[in-house]
């Protein structure tokens, strides 16, 4: 099972990848939205913001998110680490129910190039 530190490192790597992206990925990352990523097996939530092409993790809290973010993800820590490491395809994980993504319809359309 992935640790909280490994999951935080994966989120930091994802943030770095987004910051260095170009084209349609950069455009999708230019949203200004609140984010939450609930790790179901660790019962921990990372919260932050996606703005100006950057993702910033602002806090880590025990349990589910305390506030409803505009973009919400839920998955296991192992799946987060595997996705960021390129060993798990987001679309397949989402289609099979391993990853949950909740967001407004417009945000989902813009995020599809990220996923």
Stated pTM of the model: 0.88
Res 72 pLDDT > 80: yes
- For 19-71, what is each residue's pLDDT tens digit? 776 666 555 556 789 999 999 999 999 999 988 778 899 999 999 998 999 99
Separation of alpha carbons 93 and 115, rounded Å: 11
Q: What is the mean pLDDT of the chain?
A: 88
Q: Which of 114, 90, 79 is nearest to 6 (CA)?
A: 79
């Amino acid at each position: 099972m992935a640790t909280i530190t490994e999951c935080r490192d994966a989120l930091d790597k994802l943030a770095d990848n987004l910051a260095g992206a170009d084209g349609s990925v950069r455009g999708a990352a230019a949203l200004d939205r609140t984010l939450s990523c609930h790790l179901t097996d660790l019962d921990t939530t990372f919260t932050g913001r996606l703005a100006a092409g950057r993702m910033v993790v602002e806090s880590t809290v025990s349990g589910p998110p305390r506030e409803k973010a505009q973009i919400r993800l839920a998955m296991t820590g192992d799946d987060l680490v595997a996705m960021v490491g390129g060993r798990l395809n987001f679309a397949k994980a989402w289609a099979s129910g391993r990853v949950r993504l909740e967001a407004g319809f417009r945000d989902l359309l813009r995020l599809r190039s990220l996923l």
